[in-house]
């Protein structure tokens, strides 16, 4: 079990932000990453559709020997984490928008959450926000229907991305938001562009480092004992060439052990 991979998946390349953090924190661990790009975006699907995809990918990762599975997608975590935990023996680690750290950081007590339409609409997310708020502060929600797909298409900077981000961020700034939560794993890839358009006092919260720490805690008894750098294997339900190009752009330091197409 020790050398078995950590399985990580997302609708596309968003979860690579989490895979990078896991790889940085535990470089000897093997990682098997699944990009479900054939079914991207999850953010416009129903919870049941997302849950079915998550169950198929989780079964595949378990069959491949994954010792833990990271649902590196906020939308999928909100729709499916409970069902996945009920059906799977290995630890399942999810990703939630960092509402709690954002409320702790905020001076105005008004935080903003950028997320997919499905996450914003989800009752799990609304419950999470109510639990964290407990009458203190307030949350302004912004659904970003085009953002993850634009990032998937590698529109990471320049005028188009700046305008798109402004369109989502301006209504939040108008309501005195001083802390922004990136509630979708894709969004961390446009953090530099977001910072260009945000006033200096606005802080941004992402969760990939915290998730990597959580993965480390959950596999504590099964950490890899190898001294060589872990292998990172990538699989996609869509085009391999596209994934290769995305990874070259987003994670240039990585030499993947393999990139393959798979039907999950």
Q: Name the site residues for ligand DGL (rule: CB under 6 A).
A: 10-11, 14, 40-43, 73-75, 116, 119, 148, 184-186
Q: Which one of the listed residues 54, 73, 129, 144 is annotated catalytic?
A: 73
**Alpha carbon distance 165, 6 (integer Å):** 33
4/9 with CB nearer ligand DGL = 9
Q: Quick one: which of 29, 83, 75, 21 has its CA closest to 58?
A: 83
Within a 13 Å sphere around the CA of 192, how many CA atoms are in the beta-carbon half? 7
Q: How far is the CB of 74 from ligand DGL (least distance, A)?
A: 4
181/224 with CB nearer ligand DGL = 181
Q: How far is the CB of 191 from ligand DGL (least distance, A)?
A: 14
73 noted as active-site residue: yes
184 noted as active-site residue: yes
Q: How far is the CB of 7 from ligand DGL (least distance, A)?
A: 16
Q: How far is the CB of 220 from ligand DGL (least distance, A)?
A: 26
Q: Which residue is associated with the tokens 């209504």?
A: 171
Radius of gyration, alpha carbons of the chain: 18
Q: Which residue is associated with the tokens 């690579």?
A: 16
**Alpha carbon distance 163, 178 (integer Å):** 20
And the tokens for 109?
């007590």
Alpha helices (H) in the chain, listed in sequence order = 16-25, 47-63, 74-87, 99-105, 117-121, 123-133, 147-152, 158-173, 191-197, 208-218, 240-250
Q: How far is C-alpha 163 from the chain's CA centre?
A: 23
Within a 13 Å sphere around the CA of 260, how many CA atoms are in the beta-carbon half? 9
2/56 with CB nearer ligand DGL = 56
81/148 with CB nearer ligand DGL = 148
Q: Which residue is associated with the tokens 């926000």?
A: 129
Q: How far is the CB of 85 from ligand DGL (least distance, A)?
A: 18
Q: Which one of the listed residues 54, 129, 144, 184 is annotated catalytic?
A: 184
DSSP 112: E
4/20 with CB nearer ligand DGL = 20
Catalytic residue set: 73, 184
């Amino acid at each position: 079990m020790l050398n078995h991979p950590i399985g990580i998946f997302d609708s596309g390349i968003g979860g690579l932000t989490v895979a990078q953090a896991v790889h940085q924190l535990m470089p000897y661990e093997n990682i098997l990453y699944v990009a479900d790009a054939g079914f991207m975006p999850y953010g416009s699907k129903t919870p049941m559709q997302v849950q079915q995809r998550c169950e198929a990918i989780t079964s595949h990762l378990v069959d491949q020997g994954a010792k833990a599975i990271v649902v590196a997608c906020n939308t999928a975590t909100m729709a499916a984490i409970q069902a996945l935990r009920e059906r799977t023996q290995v630890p399942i680690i999810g990703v939630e928008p960092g509402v709690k750290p954002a409320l702790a950081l905020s001076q105005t007590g008004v935080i903003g959450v950028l997320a997919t339409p499905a996450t914003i609409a989800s009752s799990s997310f609304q419950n999470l926000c109510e639990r964290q708020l407990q009458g203190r502060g307030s949350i302004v929600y912004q659904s970003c229907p085009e953002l993850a797909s634009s990032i998937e298409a590698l529109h990471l900077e320049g005028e188009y991305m700046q305008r798109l981000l402004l369109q989502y961020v301006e209504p939040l700034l108008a309501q005195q938001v001083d802390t922004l939560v990136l509630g979708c794993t894709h969004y961390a890839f446009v953090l530099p562009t977001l910072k260009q358009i945000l006033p200096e006092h606005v802080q941004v919260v992402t969760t990939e480092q915290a998730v990597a720490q959580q993965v480390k805690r959950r596999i504590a008894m099964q950490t890899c004992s190898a001294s060589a750098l872990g292998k990172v294997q990538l699989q996609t339900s869509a085009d391999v060439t596209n994934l290769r190009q995305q990874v070259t752009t987003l994670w240039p330091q990585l030499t993947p052990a393999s990139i393959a197409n798979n039907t999950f």
